[in-house]
A = this chain, B = another copy of it.
Amino acid sequence: MASRPWEDRLREQGFRITPQRQLVLESVNRLGHGTPEEILVSVQETASGVNLSTIYRTLEVLESVSLITHTHIGHGAPVYHSQDESPHIHLVCDRCAEVTSVPAAAAAEFSLDLQETYGFDAHMTHMAVTGVCTKCSEDSRTETQ
């Protein structure tokens, strides 16, 4: 259900194949995680004329055909990643802003719980979980002593 070449995925939904769409998709795959701005920079290494508004429109299209997804990491711009990657939850540290990815399976029970108790079908990969990472917890423990 998700392994046809990217051109077919676009064509099936009536979208055209353009160099911009190819470059954006390649950049997302290469970057792993990238904001629209980062993707622009990456694309411009190959094609300097590409415009930021094209990046936004292209990300929307690629997401609509399930070639990519995005996650909200915090206040700033969202990060886009390949849909192929194994699904993961983003843990963002409030102190040092470091982002850790953990397998989506970590939230399986929690999701099931929300489903059973509230009938809510949670997409745990779409919004990051904020908190304090190991390193920062240790740091504050040391300072307080």
Interface residues of A (CB under 8 A from B): 72, 74-75, 91, 93-94, 100, 102, 106-107, 109-110, 113-114, 117-124, 126-134, 137
Contact A118 B94 (CB under 8 A): no
| CA gap between A124 and B124 in the complex, in Å | 12
Closest to A73 in B: B127
Contact A120 B131 (CB under 8 A): yes
Q: Shortest beta-carbon distance, A64 to chain B, in Å?
A: 14
Contact A119 B134 (CB under 8 A): yes
A130 / chain B contacts, CB cutoff of 8 Å:
122-123, 126-127
Contact B110 A107 (CB under 8 A): yes
A72 / chain B contacts, CB cutoff of 8 Å:
72, 74-75, 127
A114 / chain B contacts, CB cutoff of 8 Å:
91, 102, 106, 129, 131
| Contact A121:B132 (CB < 8 A) given known A72-B74, A72-B75, A74-B72 | yes
A110 / chain B contacts, CB cutoff of 8 Å:
106-107, 109-110
